[in-house]
C-alpha cells in the first residue's frame, strides 16, 4: 500500500470528519425528510418519528469527492476504485428510490421486499459488467496463504459471488440500521478490519477517506440521533463495504470483518423460519438488536430478552463487531 495514498487518505479523513458531522443533519433538515416509524416496532422508538433522515447522502457524497481528489492527485482513476464507487452508488440509488417512495406515501414502507430485491439484483447485474476490468485480483482464502486469482474463476462462479455478495451486504447493513449509531459504528469497524487485513493501493486511501466521512456522520447519528442514514445511506454504505472487499480481494473475509451484519441477517431468517414452522417467534423482535432492547411485546417468543437500554445495546454490539473485525484481520494474516 503506497505511503502517499495512505497519507492523502488520512488528510482527507481528518478534513471530512467535521464536514460530515456538521452537514449531515443540516442537509436532512433542508430536504425536509422525516423518519417514519413502523407501527410494529419498539414502542420507545415512536418518539423518533420526524427525526431528519436521508442524511447518509452526505457521507456518500464525501466518499465520492474524496476518491476524486485521490485520483486527481495520484496516478488517476483505477478499475478497483471505479468498482467501489459503482457498488456504493448502486446501493445508494436503490435506497434513495425506497426513501423517496416512503416519504411520498408518508409511511415507513417504501418498496415492498420483492421490489427491493429486484432492483438490487439489477444493480448487481450492472456491477458484474465491471468485474472483467479488475485484472489480476487475488481472492484471499481465510486462514490460509492461498490466493485464488479472480481471472481463474469461470463466469458461472464469480457472477453468483458478486450478486449474492452485493445483495447480502447491502441488505445486512440496512437491517442493522435500527438503533442510533449502530449500523454506522459497526460499518466503521468492518471497513477498518478490511483495511488492516490489507489489499489494494489507492483502495487503502479510499477506505481511510470513507472512515473519516463515516465517523463524522456518527457524531450526529450517535444516541440520541440528530439525523438518520435513511435507506440511501445504509444501502450505499453496504455497497461500499462490498465493493472495497471485492476489489481488494478480501471478499471472503467480509463475513468475518462484517460479522455483526451476518448476525442481523441470520436473526431475521431464523425469526421467519421459526414463525412459519412452529407459529412462535424465536426472538422478541427481529433484527436481533431489537430483541436485546428493553420493552415488552404481546406475542410469545422462545428466547428471553435481556431488556437493555438502547445505548447499552449499541455499545455492546459495537464491541461484538470489533471482535469480528479482529477475527477477519486474523483470517487474512496468513497470506
Q: What is the mean pLDDT of each run of 10 residues along the chain (335 residues)?
A: 78 97 95 72 68 94 96 89 97 95 77 90 96 91 93 92 97 96 98 85 90 98 95 97 96 97 98 96 96 93 96 98 97 86
Can you read off the three cell numbers belonging to residue 50? Answer: 420526524
Q: Give me the pLDDT at residue 41, please.
A: 58
CA 27/CA 47 separation, integer angstroms: 21
Which residues contact residue 169 at a Cβ distance below 8 angstroms, ignoring those fewer than 6 apart?
Answer: 238, 239, 241, 242, 245, 254, 258, 261
Q: Give me the pLDDT at residue 271, please.
A: 97
Q: Give me the pLDDT at residue 83, please.
A: 97
Q: Give me the pLDDT at residue 38, please.
A: 63
171 in a known ligand binding site: no
Whether the bond between 114 and the residue before it is cis, its omega within 30 degrees of 0, is: no
The 3-state DSSP class for residue 27 equals helix
Paired residues of 140 in beta bridges: 147
CA 16/CA 19 separation, integer angstroms: 5
Q: Give me the pLDDT at residue 4, please.
A: 77
What is the pTM assigned to this prediction? 0.95
Residue (of 126, 122, 60, 62) closest to 88 by Cα position: 60
Q: Give me the pLDDT at residue 106, please.
A: 73
Q: Give me the pLDDT at residue 317, please.
A: 98
Amino acid at each position: 500500500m503506497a505511503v502517499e495514498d495512505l497519507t492523502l487518505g488520512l488528510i482527507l479523513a481528518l478534513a471530512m470528519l467535521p464536514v460530515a458531522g456538521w452537514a449531515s443533519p443540516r442537509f436532512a433538515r433542508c430536504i425536509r425528510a422525516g423518519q417514519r416509524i413502523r407501527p410494529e416496532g419498539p414502542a420507545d422508538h415512536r418518539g423518533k418519528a420526524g427525526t431528519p433522515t436521508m442524511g447518509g447522502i452526505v457521507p456518500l457524497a464525501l466518499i465520492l469527492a474524496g476518491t476524486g481528489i485521490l485520483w486527481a492527485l495520484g496516478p488517476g482513476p483505477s478499475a478497483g476504485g471505479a468498482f467501489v464507487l459503482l457498488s456504493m452508488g448502486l446501493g445508494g440509488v436503490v435506497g434513495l428510490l425506497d426513501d423517496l417512495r416512503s416519504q411520498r406515501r408518508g409511511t415507513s414502507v417504501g418498496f415492498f421486499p420483492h421490489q427491493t430485491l429486484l432492483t438490487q439484483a439489477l444493480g448487481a447485474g450492472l456491477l458484474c459488467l465491471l468485474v472483467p476490468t479488475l485484472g489480476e485480483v487475488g481472492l484471499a482464502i481465510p486462514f490460509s496463504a492461498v490466493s485464488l486469482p479472480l481471472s481463474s474463476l469461470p463466469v458461472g462462479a464469480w457472477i453468483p459471488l458478486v450478486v449474492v455478495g452485493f445483495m447480502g451486504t447491502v441488505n445486512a447493513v440496512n437491517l442493522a440500521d435500527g438503533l442510533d449509531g449502530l449500523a454506522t459504528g459497526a460499518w466503521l469497524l468492518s471497513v477498518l478490519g478490511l483495511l488492516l487485513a490489507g489489499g489494494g493501493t489507492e483502495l487503502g486511501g479510499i477506505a481511510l477517506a470513507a472512515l473519516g466521512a463515516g465517523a463524522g456522520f456518527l457524531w450526529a447519528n450517535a444516541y440520541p440521533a440528530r439525523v438518520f442514514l435513511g435507506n440511501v445511506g445504509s444501502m450505499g454504505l453496504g455497497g461500499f463495504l462490498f465493493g472495497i472487499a471485492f476489489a481488494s480481494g478480501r471478499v471472503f473475509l467480509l463475513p468475518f470483518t462484517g460479522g455483526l451484519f451476518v448476525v442481523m441477517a441470520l436473526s431475521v431468517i431464523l425469526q421467519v423460519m421459526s414463525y412459519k414452522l412452529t407459529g412462535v417467534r424465536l426472538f422478541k423482535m427481529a433484527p436481533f438488536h431489537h430483541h436485546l432492547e428493553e420493552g415488552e411485546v404481546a406475542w410469545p417468543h422462545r428466547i428471553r430478552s435481556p431488556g437493555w437500554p438502547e445505548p447499552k445495546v449499541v455499545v455492546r454490539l459495537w464491541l461484538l463487531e470489533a471482535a469480528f473485525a479482529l477475527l477477519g484481520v486474523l483470517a487474512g494474516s496468513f497470506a
